[in-house]
């Protein structure tokens, strides 16, 4: 059963100093890693790439204009299609905006992964399940450091939220 680490909003160095060791270990342990944007520096992007190996799907966030990353990417693991976007824009209408992107970019049963708000989210909007792992470094305005791990098999998924 593939295990996917989902992280976002590391914001190093502007709002945090380093990726916590427990998050680093989760990324290394995962079969695939999704980062939903706002690395904030090329060093952080390189670090996440090193931790994830060849198994990284990443998008640019509003703090990442200098990176050659897509604004939306799609990855399939264990029979589940993940549509990844940062969710950049106003917080008002955020969930509907992300669900719209998933509807445009993914198939009928695609799952949305986004960041931007620094708040944990696992909800359904217009028939689309949306996951937001919060901030992997606890960067303001987050109140905790958090991430998600997803185990997928045969189109089914089990989401575990970790926060400290």
Both tokens of 142, joined, read 């987050």
Mean residue pLDDT of the chain comes to 97
* pLDDT score at 65: 87
* pLDDT score at 56: 98
* pLDDT score at 130: 98
Helical spans, DSSP H, in the chain: 21-29, 42-52, 94-105
Tokens 């992007």 locate to 45
pLDDT tens, residue by residue, 16-42:
999 999 999 999 999 999 999 999 999
* pLDDT score at 80: 96
Both tokens of 10, joined, read 């590391």
CA distances for 60 relative to 1, 36, 37, 124, 126, angstroms: 28, 7, 5, 23, 25
- Sheet harboring 32-35: ordered strands across? 56-58, 32-35, 3-7, 146-153, 156-163
Contact status, residue 130 vs residue 112, Cβ threshold 8 Å: yes
- pLDDT for residue 4 is more than 90: yes
- pLDDT for residue 64 is more than 90: yes
Angstrom distance (rounded) from CA 35 to CA 58: 5
Angstrom distance (rounded) from CA 90 to CA 142: 17
- Please report, for the chain, the start and end positions of each structural domain, with discontinuous segments joined by +: 3-163
pTM of the shown model: 0.97
Strand partners of residue 5: 33, 149
- How, if at all, do strands 128-133 and 120-125 pair? antiparallel
- pLDDT for residue 47 is more than 90: yes
Q: What is the mean pLDDT of residues 86-98?
A: 97
Q: What is the mean pLDDT of residues 69-82?
A: 97
Q: With cut-offs at 50, 70 and 90, classify the pLDDT of residue 149.
A: very high
Fold of 3-163: Purple Acid Phosphatase; chain A, domain 2 (3.60.21)
Q: With cut-offs at 50, 70 and 90, classify the pLDDT of residue 94.
A: very high
- pLDDT for residue 77 is more than 90: yes
CA distances for 154 relative to 77, 86, 113, angstroms: 9, 26, 19
């Amino acid at each position: 059963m593939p295990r996917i680490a989902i992280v976002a909003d590391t914001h190093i160095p502007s709002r945090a100093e380093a990726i916590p060791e427990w998050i680093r270990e989760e990324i290394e342990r995962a079969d695939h890693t999704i980062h939903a944007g706002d690395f904030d520096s090329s060093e952080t992007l390189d670090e996440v790439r090193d931790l994830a190996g060849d198994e990284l799907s990443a998008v640019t966030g509003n703090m990442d204009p200098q990176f050659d990353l897509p604004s939306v990417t799609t990855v399939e693991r264990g029979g589940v299609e993940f549509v990844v976007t940062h969710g950049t824009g106003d917080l008002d209408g955020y969930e509907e905006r992300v669900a719209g992107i998933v509807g445009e970019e993914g198939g009928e049963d695609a799952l949305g992964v986004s960041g931007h708000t620094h708040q944990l989210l696992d909800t359904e909007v217009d028939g689309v399940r949306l996951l937001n792992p919060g901030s992997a470094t606890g960067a303001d305005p987050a109140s905790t450091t958090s991430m998600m791990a997803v185990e997928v098999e045969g189109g089914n998924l089990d989401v575990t939220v970790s926060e400290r």
